[in-house]
Amino acid sequence: MESEDSEDWLLESIKLYKDLHDFELQDPTRVIEWMGDKSICIAGYTGARSHEILQLLFPQKLHETENQGLCPERDLKVQYGGFSQHPVYSLKHVPGTSLLVTSSPSLSHLQTWNIGAEDTDVIRPSVFVQSDPTEKTWTKIDVSSAAAAPRVVHGARVSAVHVTEMESARRVYTLDGSSDEAVGSLSFLDPSTVHLCCLSGHQIIADVRQPGVAHEGSAVPNVPGDQHWCAAVKSQIQDACAKIASLSSEGHIIITDARNLETPLKCAKSKSSNCPAPEEQIMCICWAPALDDYISVSGLDGTVQIYDTRHWDAALKEVDALFTHRGHCAMGECEDGSAPRVTVHSWHPWKERTLVSAANDGSLHIWDWLDTTELP
């Protein structure tokens, strides 16, 4: 959207970015999955027609490590593409393979896909992975390639969480639990351990080599309101235990140690979010891969907020974001005239301050932010 407001925002904000690129997708996406460090997978989720699944290559200017002068390619390039008959709410790629898996609120199973099947540029559907046929909510998923065969953990409720081999659709694990709590997010902590964050904020860790729950607990703050939660895990590095960052629809952020889910290490409350977040569950929280103890959140409004958690403590208090990307709401507008809401964001695998974000108006931004606290 070209307007005086967006031009003013660009003029005022240009000094806050090393790079900022705005692209327009044919359909909005709520998934961004990295395919190496030069391309991403996205997928449509709105409307009643077929939904594209695309692998997009970044323009040369965005993935060269040095200034290459004039770059003829300035737009995203479709490397591979396919169509899903159902909206895609979650998409995961198995690293080192050509396999994708997707989930949809309108399906009772997951769909696996092959990228570049039969030496073509097509993303082709493969086997079905059966989920819970009676479940009407969206099935959460994560993948692992560390086992003998790539696996997906999937489930919409605690009582129906499974681990399945993707290529054979053979179920190798079922969580032995009777809870009917809805799942907000699922993650592999390591090849043998799965983390669940329930919508209630209750957290569960299960070992796929044995039945039952290994650990469980809740560090949810005692505050009024009906919140829903999601989480992201930072896997164990050397001797450090895995850490879990949880986000609520009211803007609460809780960081816990995977060994003690009851006691928060750090807590904060976002000041700038337009809480509560909508029921469609587009909240997203991520650990920065190349910056220690930095996290980012989106889905609470039209922004992506970045936080440096190094100086947080266990006392719940409001905090300011270190950086806030307001580009989607400043530069765009939905068809009904409302301000866009961010649907998903993701950090570049190794570039410290580069992120990709998308909003429900179809905008896709690639941006490299500057830490103003380090500027002279």
At residue 331, the pLDDT reads: 83
Question: What is the distance between the alpha carbons of residues 271 and 281, in angstroms, rounded to a whole number?
Answer: 20
Interval 225-266: pLDDT, tens: 678 999 999 976 655 688 999 999 999 999 999 999 999 999
Q: What's the whole-model pTM score?
A: 0.91
Under 8 Å CB-to-CB from 271, ≥6 apart: which residues? 318, 319, 320, 321
First to last CA, the chain: 33
Here the tokens at position 23 are 């692209």
At residue 201, the pLDDT reads: 93
Burial class from Cβ neighbours inside 10 Å (0-12, 13-18, 19+) for residue 23 reads: middle
Here the tokens at position 9 are 């925002």
Q: Which helix (H) or strand (E) covers residue 10, if one does?
A: helix 4-13
Identity of the amino acid at 374: E
Q: Which residue pairs, CB below 8 angstroms and at least 24 apart, start in 2-5?
A: 5/330
At residue 261, the pLDDT reads: 94
* Polymer length in residues for the chain: 376
At residue 372, the pLDDT reads: 75
Nearest Cα to 344, choosing from 86, 29, 52, 45? 29
pLDDT along the chain (376 residues), means of 10: 60 81 93 94 88 93 55 76 93 94 85 88 88 72 87 92 90 84 93 93 92 86 80 74 92 93 94 64 93 94 94 91 92 82 95 96 94 68
Under 8 Å CB-to-CB from 144, ≥6 apart: which residues? 94, 150, 151, 152, 153, 188, 191
Question: What is the distance between the alpha carbons of residues 94 and 205, in angstroms, rounded to a whole number?
Answer: 22
Interval 269-290: pLDDT, tens: 988 656 666 666 789 999 999 9
Compute the 3-state secondary structure of the chain and give helix, strand, coil in percent, each to the nearest 5: 10, 45, 45
Backbone angles phi, psi at 294, to 5 degrees: -100, 140
Judge whether 215 and 177 are in contact, CB under 8 Å: no
At residue 210, the pLDDT reads: 87
Interval 69-109: pLDDT, tens: 434 456 899 999 999 999 999 999 999 899 999 999 877 78
At residue 60, the pLDDT reads: 79
